[in-house]
Structure 1
């Protein structure tokens, strides 16, 4: 999930459209209060934050986010018409992960967001145990069970499933999966497809939760 705080409605709609065209879930906010309220119930994978806001400076919002234990780890991309080196340095010093100035190219914005999502997935702390319905995943015991029956997976199948379960509903491109799990060494997208196919087969009905996103890649969906 990507959150966007941007008071210019046309820019907000453009970003939302661009993200959704890439099958990336996104939610937009026109003012800080709505964003803060939503952060109480959901933590996004990335926050796109405008600096020039009428009610409160984006710098102050960023500062508050980085001070909170609950939200401090959210990757933040600053979006602003401010183009001075001072403003960029200030934003980065306050904890922003990236900075892009208006006017911006949509393709560049998407590329920066995808890079942040990759870094976020790679650096995300791994839960020792994950339970989804009657499927259980244990990184400590290196085991997967369905109805308490152990499922034999190869190392890469196990890693793919773990990544998906850690990031449910998040779409991964084939290139992202190669970079995260194969480091792109001597591998190609067909390698990912083959592993996904065998993983689906081994998971039985749970394999149906691994959805193919046409033109993008795959995701693990909570609903069939």
Structure 2
């Protein structure tokens, strides 16, 4: 079966270029220019991946609103935002909504293609048993890409789940380098965005245990859980 990718982009030239770059026998693309018809499509079929611009027509946060609507379906569907808006506030807002990536325009079609291939392979791989964990109090449900800290759910994106899984499967105190974290996410995470995801991981734990301080930087090398 083909993967179902939803593309929401109001620039018809960019829309056409992205479709040409991504479409194949393995990928079917539903294309929309505005939020409302894309949102209506959710009621008929949910995508395996959502790619969306943020500004859609007159809606300056149309892509964000679309992603919020998608989250209501309680499915771990990855989201990639494409936007000319590159402030730290906008990037963090995109990740807070659940984006696994936030790509600047003009985008590299080759990079987008690689990220899409990796994400679909990651999220559609055969279901596995819940992962083992060296970390006491942390449980991972690989089947549903969910993590639980002291029996309470952590609010994580798919990317952050994969990064956390790398910590869970590494003996306590061992250094996890940047390359291992990139590999754990199938190359979705770039070196310069790793720290942003680590900050989000820490904050997810702090929402449950405010005193959380287990993920430590190892200067020039990576991170360790201790």
Q: TM-score, length-normalised on structure 1? A: 0.51
Answer yes or no: is 1:39 the counterpart of 2:42.
yes
Q: Is the 8 A contact 2:83 2:104 kept in 1?
A: yes
Equivalence for 2:68: 63
Equivalence for 1:81: 84
Using the alignment, how far apart are the partners of 1:33 and 1:117 within structure 2? 25
Using the alignment, how far apart are the partners of 1:37 and 1:124 within structure 2? 29
Equivalence for 1:119: 122
Give the 3-state SS of the residue equivalent to 2:51 in structure 1.
Answer: strand
Match of 1:30 among 33, 48, 54: 33
Runs of 4+ off more than 3 Å: 122-126
Q: Structure 1, residues 62-117: CA drift from partner, whole Å, max 9, x if none? A: 22222x1x264221101111112221111001111111110011100001111111
Using the alignment, how far apart are the partners of 2:9 and 2:75 within structure 1? 20
Deviation, 1:39, is 1.2
Give the 3-state SS of the residue equivalent to 2:98 in structure 1.
Answer: coil
Using the alignment, how far apart are the partners of 1:123 and 1:51 within structure 2? 32
Match of 1:5 among 8, 18, 29: 8
Alpha-carbon RMSD across the aligned residues, in angstroms, is 2.5
Deviation, 1:55, is 3.9
Q: TM-score, length-normalised on structure 2? A: 0.51
Equivalence for 2:145: none
Structure 2 stretches lacking a partner, 5+ long? 130-182, 187-226
Structure 1 stretches lacking a partner, 5+ long? 127-178, 184-224
Using the alignment, how far apart are the partners of 2:126 and 2:101 within structure 1? 16
Instruction: Flag the 1:74–1:125 CA change in 2: closer, same or farther, 3 A.
Output: farther
Which structure has the larger Rg? 1
Q: Is the 8 A contact 2:8 2:53 kept in 1?
A: yes
Aligned residues: 126
Q: Is the 8 A contact 2:39 2:69 kept in 1?
A: no
Q: Is the 8 A contact 2:10 2:34 kept in 1?
A: yes
Summarize the alignment of residues 146-161 of structure 1 with structure 2, pairs less than 5 Å apart.
none
Instruction: Flag the 1:71–1:8 CA change in 2: closer, same or farther, 3 A.
Output: farther
Q: Structure 1, residues 116-155: CA drift from partner, whole Å, max 9, x if none? A: 11221138689xxxxxxxxxxxxxxxxxxxxxxxxxxxxx
Instruction: Flag the 1:123–1:90 CA change in 2: closer, same or farther, 3 A.
Output: farther
Using the alignment, how far apart are the partners of 1:123 and 1:92 within structure 2? 26
